[in-house]
Amino acid sequence: MKIRKLSSHRNNCEIVRNKLINRIKKRQKSALTTTENCVWNCFEIQERIMLTNWKITWLILILVFINIMVVLSTNAPLPVRKARLAGMSPRAAIGFLENHRFKMDKTNAWSPKLLAKHEAPPHSAPYIVSIQHMTPDNGLVHYCAGTIINEHWILTAAHCLTSDETVENSLIVAGCHDLRASDEGDCVQVRPIDHYVRHELYLGGINPYDIALIYTKRPLHFTEHVQPAHLPEQDTLPEGSGTLYGWGNISMTLEPNYPHRLQEAEMPILDMELCERILAESGLQLHETNLCTGPLNGGVSICTADSGGPLVQSCCDGYDEEYIVIGIVSWGRMPCGQKNSPSVFVRVSAFTNWISEIISTATNFE
């Protein structure tokens, strides 16, 4: 087990209460993870940091034309580095994001060109976090999501943590519904990524074991808007349907449309044999640790910037309804929402023991 460490001196970055985030170095590298093996999730991380990169745009057009899948990331290991964050308050940084990220947010009304996702009731998924990258020119840019497991640990996709330039300048934003709202400051909690653990068998791309854990030294404070999700029992097989939450692309075309408010969608869980047959027609393979969702008639799917986010089911007897995270957004076909194009998740129950072992043994961080 390899535990990646980012510097732990960045402890004071909570919105409203803290004054400044540490300075980002003046000459930040513009080079990003190679797109040679990139398809939708990896492309998305880069696209949301450098939307003007026309070479990447042409690459995605070529990939769509030949109908291949989007590979998520490179295989390069992340070196240990100090995090460097721009010198502005988290509230100011989130507001600054509006000029870059939300200029494509054209409409909230559903149309045939938009996925059938809907705005979630505010703070109805208090376990979801936005993972945002700090850029020198465009402020904070949402590129992945994650799920709160406890006050120190966030569950996400391994492909979200394969670019050192991105991770070392990223923040975890919890308790947020509207990413550009200025009146949520008292509810939102911001934390640095101090350490992270990618599954040792993850090889990048659309390979299996696309699961990772993020550790933040400063604990999250649980409130009405910030709560953990439950883990499933090891090796249980979810049935029925699950609810997807995220701020991912809602466009069914090549022109992205990123909502600033949290979206939700009900996703029917598919039989694995059926899903395998459908993907095999495109030369793609599933792994036993994956989870597939429809609908196969199109219109609803995971998409770019949903990566790492949760698929959940309600659970448990009691007065308060609670939720189990059953899936982690991993990969899908581009454009999003096509017919006969299942959404592929990591099945969390295949890794419950792995998660528990990491959390219970990785306790002595410097």
CA 62 to chain CA centroid, Å, is: 25
159 is catalytic: yes
**Residue 259: is its pLDDT beyond 90?**
yes
Q: What is the pLDDT of residue 180?
A: 87
Q: What digits encode the pLDDT tens for the residues 293-313?
A: 999 999 999 999 999 999 999
> What does the alpha-carbon distance between residue 20 and residue 13 come to, in Å, rounded to a whole number?
7
> What does the alpha-carbon distance between residue 347 and residue 349 come to, in Å, rounded to a whole number?
6
Domains of the chain: 4-28+74-110+122-229+354-361 (2.40.10.10), 241-349 (2.40.10.10)
Phi then psi for residue 69, to 5 deg, are -85, 160
> What does the alpha-carbon distance between residue 136 and residue 131 come to, in Å, rounded to a whole number?
17
Kindly report which listed range (59-68, 119-128, 146-155, 224-233) carries the lowest average pLDDT score: 59-68
Q: What is the pLDDT of residue 362?
A: 81
Tell me which residue of 306, 333, 301 sits closest to 48, measured CA to CA: 306
Among 159, 177, 199, 260, the active-site one is 159
Among 199, 210, 330, 341, the active-site one is 210
Which residues are paired to 81 by β-bridges? 6
Q: ∠ at Cα 162 (156, 167), nearest 5°?
A: 75
210 is catalytic: yes
Among 73, 130, 251, 307, the active-site one is 307
Residue with tokens 């939700």: 264
Q: What digits encode the pLDDT tens for the residues 129-173?
A: 999 998 888 789 999 999 999 999 999 999 999 988 889 999 999
- The CA dihedral of 258, 263, 269, 274, to the nearest 10 degrees, is -20
Phi then psi for residue 92, to 5 deg, are -65, -40
Cβ-based neighbours of 311, under 8 Å, separated by 6 or more:
242, 243, 244, 267, 291, 293, 325, 326, 327, 328, 329, 345
73 is catalytic: no
Tell me which residue of 158, 177, 164 sits closest to 133, measured CA to CA: 164
Q: pTM higher than 0.85, yes or no?
A: no
When pLDDT is averaged across residues 245-259 and rounded to a whole number, the result is 94
**Residue 189: is its pLDDT beyond 80?**
yes
Kindly report which listed range (100-109, 140-149, 275-284, 290-299) carries the lowest average pLDDT score: 100-109
